[in-house]
Structure 1
């Protein structure tokens, strides 16, 4: 939502005497006329003068509160209302975490979200969740990797990418990370691989096809006393080409590049057992644009 204009509820004419003690909201000047005293024994013969200034002041305050609440809750569906600074409903603008109002997902296929909307928001939500699945520790074991590929990719693309993926997760690669040939960590150690999307961007959208870029940070490494590959962070951009198939978005091709990467912070690295405990205690999310 674009920021609205500030409203002046004081009125157009403040009058020529702003210091008038009887001036109130709206610039009206209230005067009081004192009536002759009536019969002391008949109080009803004289009506005490009412302080209209207090009444108008209270009324003005109520109007301001109602207007402020209405302004804060004002919404719209135009392109300018996508998010502050956004030029179109598909652009992130200056508030990329603003909710879109579109229901992000209908269900799950195993542990992976599914049933995304056939629009730009749905394509972005799908790409973010697929990036999480493809960057998970489950990709390092053959059985779970095949299941993820079949869920995320279209049938044709999954068939083409399966062998290259098996070659990428070779025994030598797994050994380099401290894993055995089956992708399992040694006794007493925890292998960590997580992808955390930072933002998504629609590169191209044509109804039943979409190209979405996911900027993410990742955690990868072995947490353990004897680990020679401690958990470290990465920054990548994963770009997925997707098509609408059987009621959901499916990846038909993808590429990846380094960055954008921020300057590393000055937070001291945690001990390996602290990292292992955090991975066990903190679950992941279903991401939505």
Structure 2
């Protein structure tokens, strides 16, 4: 199980609310203009056909194929699981996705549907997406998800506490969820669209990593601003610098609004140029998406045959 305490080199910074505040506010300020410009530049990089084919397969293998709707049914989840295991039934060379992401009450359905496959079950928890619940409720939500078969837990931070400067409260809650998740990997959702500033995103990234996150995740996909190239670039810088400081590697998951192959490739370029090739793996980088897979399959088929198939080439779910 991943560590539930910060690395020894940084343990003192979480000893008190004041120490944690000093540390987080002592992180280098973000040059917003420079960050936006670098993200825009990296977003224009083009890759050749052979590399594009490899990038498409890599992107497919990194997808957390997601359904988080009130109208989700067991049948829909089973269908999504089948698609995740065999994205294109006509082509066994297409890789499987990394995980199927569902609500906790659907985790057991997904686990049964994925039995015998390498695809993981990811479950949101901690009163997703708002996170507005008492800590015991959040911990029970986490334990229930893991008991139902979740291999990974995607939690949301208390943005109200963070924005009020109650950093130690947020730290302790993440650490408590980390413990409650047991053997499951923990992805900590920052909800960047509600953090308002790049400096806050950097602070929240470090806070989550100090508390034991295995991944830091941009967003729930349920607010107006979700994953963007600049805020993902900032988080990639954070995990790179955290590993340099502590020796522990943490993954990154942009989620929400990533719909096209062109979008996915931009994120892969961002990873390679910022964190490096060590993060170009489903173990360390994920794409949270619901419709992206279809476009990747269409573009993959176009590269292989020189033409697009008809509208029934890929399934909706």
Q: TM-score, normalised by structure 2?
A: 0.22
Greater strand percent: which structure? Answer: 1
Higher helix share goes to which structure? Answer: 2
Q: Relative contact order (C-alpha < 8 Å, sep 6+): which is higher? A: 2
What TM-score results when the alignment is normalised by the length of structure 1? 0.23
